[in-house]
Structure 1
């Protein structure tokens, strides 16, 4: 009898111990499930926020592309109306949940670095001697020495041309092969001025000096300046294109004395006193015009928490029709 009671007592004690262990196990499972639920809901909330933000950003991009179409239309209207776009034309439109802001400016007044080469009969890129002379002159007018200007000009031509023969003080594949991170020259036109950082001699300091005067068109057409929108700060460009002993000071005076309404014909520009006693070749005259050849538009869109920035290059054909050359989303250049 006593032994039986002892057995029952031990069983009851063990049962209580097992019950306590089961309770701890259940509590542990509940804790794990609760933690999992918290993580799941956090992930769900993050996914919802990310999806919402993505939708807002996508909608902002669509609005920006719509603004780009308005810029194309504005470029054609400005060209037909012969408006002298001396300053960027800004517009702003409210939209449900945000605003579209944009500006369009004459992008003609810059030196096309791709014009340093021309196509040969065989389709190969070779040096364009006239553009090379103008580019070197521009670099000198900006304060670089003749030697540095020659080295920078020839290094860039070697980067663009199709052959592997370096020009004096230029650079071809061999010169870049010995770098810590070797690479080869492009042997074709550049798509963006940021590529100049890869070209021998184009340091950050040099680019800071010359970049405001340069552009990289999608073709190798020679630079054509719009004399109706040139600013005094663009005087080195005009002096470089005209050439000879035509100084930056003379170019600045010519720009500053431009008639309020601009020139209706390029011949009127060359009748100015600044050209008295000076003969300007027709080939050079063709590098000046009285209407824009190129526009640049910048569109910024805010839509709720989303934002988009779009920079577009617009070119005008001979019939006054605008067409998109390229565009880029991101920070304005």
Structure 2
């Protein structure tokens, strides 16, 4: 039998209390970490589920585009099912998806034109003129000098040399800034790059971005006259040279199922009056080969947003050329 002196009994009690306190703290900490781990696992599971919902919507859209091209691919217009917003409720969440024609916006990469080949200089000049027409129809109004600055700087951003256009900008301009960088000298990957271009101002950038788009590694400049809406009428005005008011009149009088062919569009009196060059006529189409899908999937507390760019080849095969994981 161990005998503890009276003075040592108080010390032993303190030690016991300290051990109990330490065990309680450890138990609380372990319980908190366990709850955090459970919540983390739950979030991962929900995020993965939302991701696969979005991927399912992408595959559904891919098959829908292929079916569209096989059945009605010769004429693409806004009254077809592809233009309807897709909303699918699911227990604990849902899927929201919208297909958009990427040939109803102005491809910024269209200004990447090699001037060394035959006709390259005139082609670039024509596309620069179209981009200027687009800037002319931006609200709020962009000052004339700024329009010239942005146009030439965009060409310099895309071309492969380091020789600035008349009022353009190359590496020397961007390297002199507080946070220096250099021109891409290549195709744009995303239209958000426009923020880096010399002369661009935040006061009108949002309006320009709503009319612009980017086809990766592609300087295609073809506009589907059937899928341009009144909201982006400035794109069709830029492609044809029509005034914005005349373009809105054309779109307002357009048949719900669009024009059956380009010749029907060119036969309009307002279009005939323009006496469009062969180059401008080639810009106008009633078919589309590029679509972008905006998807937003929700499951419990998780939200997943994705943009998928589709390309249709001449055999009507649909391929995915880009995915962006960002806001809807």
Partners of 1:91 and 1:276 in 2: how far apart? 38
Listed as ranges, the matches of 1:61-140 within 5 Å are 61-82=51-72, 84-86=77-79, 88-95=83-90, 97-119=92-114, 128-140=124-136
Cα deviation, 1:264-316, whole Å, max 9, x if unaligned, reads 11111111122234422222112111122321212222223322121212222
SS state of the match for residue 274, structure 1?
A: helix
Q: Does the Cα contact within 8 Å between 1:85 and 1:106 map onto a contact in 2?
A: no
Listed as ranges, the matches of 1:2-81 within 5 Å are 15-81=5-71
Q: Does the Cα contact within 8 Å between 2:78 and 2:256 map onto a contact in 1?
A: no
Partners of 2:174 and 2:95 in 1: how far apart? 45
Partners of 1:130 and 1:219 in 2: how far apart? 20
Offset, 1:170:
1.0
Partners of 1:101 and 1:260 in 2: how far apart? 25
Listed as ranges, the matches of 1:1-333 within 5 Å are 15-82=5-72, 84-86=77-79, 88-95=83-90, 97-119=92-114, 128-142=124-138, 143-243=141-241, 246-332=242-328
Partners of 1:209 and 1:186 in 2: how far apart? 23
Partners of 2:319 and 2:136 in 1: how far apart? 35
Q: Does the Cα contact within 8 Å between 1:191 and 1:218 map onto a contact in 2?
A: yes
Offset, 1:94:
4.2
* Aligned residues between the structures: 316
Offset, 1:234:
2.6
TM-score, normalised to structure 2's length? Answer: 0.89
SS state of the match for residue 65, structure 2?
A: helix
SS state of the match for residue 5, structure 2?
A: helix
Partners of 1:121 and 1:156 in 2: how far apart? 18
Q: Does the Cα contact within 8 Å between 1:131 and 1:222 map onto a contact in 2?
A: no
Partners of 2:144 and 2:201 in 1: how far apart? 17
In structure 2, the partner of 1:4 is none
Partners of 2:69 and 2:229 in 1: how far apart? 19
SS state of the match for residue 309, structure 1?
A: strand
Q: Which runs of 5+ in 1 are unaligned?
A: 1-11
Name the CA shift for 1:167/1:278 in 2 (closer, same or farther; >3 Å): closer
Q: Which runs of 5+ in 2 are unaligned?
A: none
Offset, 1:121:
6.8
Q: Does the Cα contact within 8 Å between 1:155 and 1:167 map onto a contact in 2?
A: yes
Partners of 1:24 and 1:234 in 2: how far apart? 78
Offset, 1:86:
4.5
Cα deviation, 1:79-107, whole Å, max 9, x if unaligned, reads 33335224831223344543223222323
Partners of 1:210 and 1:43 in 2: how far apart? 49
